[in-house]
Copies of this chain bind each other. A is one copy, B any other.
Amino acid sequence: MKCRKCGDTAALELRRHNAAFCSPHFIEFFRKQVREAIRQHRMVTTEEPILVAVSGGKDSLALWDVLIEEGYATAGLYLDLGIFDYSVESRAKCEAFASARGQRLIVERVEEAMGAPIPVVQKVTRRPTCSACGLSKRYLMNRAALAHGYAVVATGHNLDDEAATLFGSVMHWQTDALPRQSPMLPSTHPKLARRVKPLYRLSERETAAYAFLRGIDYIVEECPFARGATSLAHKEVLNRLEEASPGAKHNFLFGFLEKARPAFERAEGVTLVECASCGQVTTGTICAFCKLADHVKRAAPS
């Protein structure tokens, strides 16, 4: 296999693109995909500082790396979920990454905001762990962006993540979730930061290759609570379809964004108001995070 660009021995074959690249040209390809994502969805302007949500995994650290290389002013945001060794190690990876590159890392602890770390939240609520955790992360990301003056939060969601989420929404036809499936969620309220996913054109395998080639030290272990998660089962299904037909994931996600998503956008938008308890945006009176925190407090008094 030869690199499509220079004819050298290829380091990576990308079947869905019917292409192969040597290491330097793969990195070039990777950055170009990020630039294309940013350009096409007008994710950020070149002057805008970006808050990059980092978990210590390959995707978010690869994202942070690209954004720094592309010349954006960034800071990292690490959300400490309090998940035993997993959180200790993943925080250490983020701190090492930030200090090696002279970048600021903001750390927020779920325990401080919620009254308990995720393993306790998991025990006292009936919600699936990933659901309560996802809710907490979205809440804290937005809160940190507002507190530190960032208009945009970038997350490391890749093509596989996005396709798996879409697959889950489609299997149940969650018509409220479908219009929110997008690489760019604009701010619809002064207290809501824009959320962008600049890696949505790149597969998990590609972000892993990029992180490896760039010498990024990331946490390899999955979150211990992710085992058996539906999203992983859906990724498996999609991997099998991709194996049989390269490009299947891409076509599924991009076809949705181009052809189907518009059909699900509601004529009347959702009206956001400020939570009566914390002041962050919500569609009700009390936001879901405050409700969950209240539930945790009552169930597990400290």
Q: Please report which residues of chain A, range 140-193, place their CB below 8 angstroms from some CB of chain B when the two chains form the complex.
A: 170-173, 175
With A237-B237, A237-B240, A237-B241: A248-B173 Cβ-Cβ less than 8 Å: no
Query: A175 touches which one: B170, B172, B260 (CB < 8 A)?
Result: B260
In the docked arrangement, what's the CA distance between A170 and B178, Å?
13
CA distance A172 to B245 in the complex (A): 12
A residues 199-231 with Cβ under 8 Å of B?
Answer: none
What are the residues of chain B within 8 A of A170 when measuring CB–CB?
A: 170, 252
**Residues in B whose Cβ lies below 8 Å from that of A175:** 259-260, 263
Residues of B within 8 A of A255 (CB): 172-173
Contact B256 A173 (CB under 8 A): yes
Interface bin, chain A: 20 to 34
Whether a CB of chain B sits under 8 angstroms from the CB of A251 is yes
Q: Is A278 interfacial (CB-CB < 8 Å)?
A: no
**A244 at the binding interface (Cβ < 8 Å):** yes
Judge if A264 is at the interface, Cβ distance under 8 Å: yes
Copies of the polypeptide in the assembly? 2
* A233 CB–B CB distance under 8 Å: yes
- Residues from chain B with a CB closer than 8 A to the CB of A263 are 175, 263-264
Residue in B closest to A249 when the chains form the complex, CB atoms: B171
Q: How far is the CA of A248 from the CA of B230 in the complex (A)?
A: 12
Assembly CA distance A263 to B255 (angstroms): 16
* Least distance between A249 CB and chain B CB atoms (Å): 9
Q: How far is the CA of A248 from the CA of B237 in the complex (A)?
A: 14
- Complex alpha-carbon distance, A150 and B95, angstroms: 74
Nearest residue, chain B, Cβ from A244: B233
Nearest CB in chain B: distance from A247 CB, A: 10
A170 to B256, CA, bound (A): 8
B260 & A173 in contact (Cβ 8 Å cutoff): yes
Q: Which residues of B contact A248 (CB under 8 A)?
A: 171
Contact with B along A240-271 (1 / 0, CB 8 A): 11001000100110011011100110000000
Task: Select which of B171, B233, B237 is within 8 A of A252 by beta carbon.
Answer: B171
Q: Which B residues touch A256, using CB under 8 A?
A: 173
Tell me which of B171, B244, B259 contacts A173 (CB under 8 A): B259
Most buried by B among A171, A248, A259: A171
Sorted nearest first, the 9 A-B pairs with minimum C-beta distance are: A173-B255, A263-B263, A173-B259, A173-B260, A175-B259, A171-B252, A237-B237, A173-B256, A263-B264
Given A173-B260, A237-B241, A260-B264, 13 other A-B residues pairs in contact with their CB atoms under 8 A? A170-B170, A170-B252, A171-B248, A171-B251, A172-B251, A172-B252, A172-B255, A173-B251, A173-B252, A173-B256, A175-B260, A175-B263, A237-B240
15 contacts between A and B (CB under 8 A): A171-B251, A171-B252, A172-B255, A173-B251, A173-B252, A173-B255, A173-B258, A173-B260, A175-B259, A175-B260, A175-B263, A233-B244, A237-B237, A260-B264, A263-B263
